Amino acid sequence: MSKSNLQDLLLDFPFELILGSASPRRQELLGSLGFKYKLCPTHADENFPEHLKAQEIPLYLAEVKANAYTKLLGKQELLITADTIVWCEGKVYNKPENYEQGMTMLRALGGKMHEVFTAVCFKSATKQISFYDTSKVYFKEFSDEEIAYYLTKYQPYDKAGGYGVQDWIGYIGIDKIEGSFYNVMGLPVKKVYEELIKFNSSHI
């Protein structure tokens, strides 16, 4: 694909993208790819069957969110939904509901490696696909004072695992990341870009 063809594709992508997410991180990341989109967050029950493990959970929830879109998709519309979880030692860590849960989560994640799984679902009028990415995050051990400061100042109650990789806890707490940083933020942008190109090619 030539530079001019790529520019044309990004500026005039043949599908109208609809981002079904209220996450400001996903909005920022999708917009940074160069694709135009409109925002229409879906609202779905984020409970999941207990037998699901690791990447199975966000794959299930991304599809639940896609199926919660109540409008009829037009021929050239493409809905994008996503879900992110933190997985550590066989246990899922979703969004903490309060300070106490946040403290418990970050104590549990401190000093360990955990995996971040983000799944994405593309849904058009005729086709639906899902995919995911995995990143490994290595945290230092946190003091209770550090966790308390972070929870009080940053209020990370809308984030899986009770933290944002792009803010203070990431600055002072991450020893290393194996895999995509942006996947930890909530959207594996490289894979999203590649899958959008493939999705378009399959409809030409």
**CA–CA distance, 33 with 10 (Å, rounded to integer):** 8
- The yes-or-no answer on residue 158 being catalytic is no
Q: What is the 3-state secondary structure (H, E, C) of the chain?
A: CCHHHHHHHHHCCCCEEEECCCCHHHHHHHHHCCCCEEECCCCCCCCCCCCCCCCHHHHHHHHHHHHCCCCCCCCCEEEEEEEEEEEECCEEECCCCCHHHHHHHHHHHCCCEEEEEEEEEEECCCCEEEEEEEEEEEECCCCHHHHHHHHHHHCCCCCHHHCCCCCHHHHHHEEEEECCHHHHHCCCHHHHHHHHHHHHHHCC
Cβ-contact 163, 170 below 8 angstroms: yes
Catalytic position from the list 8, 83, 144, 158 = 83
- Residues with catalytic function: 83
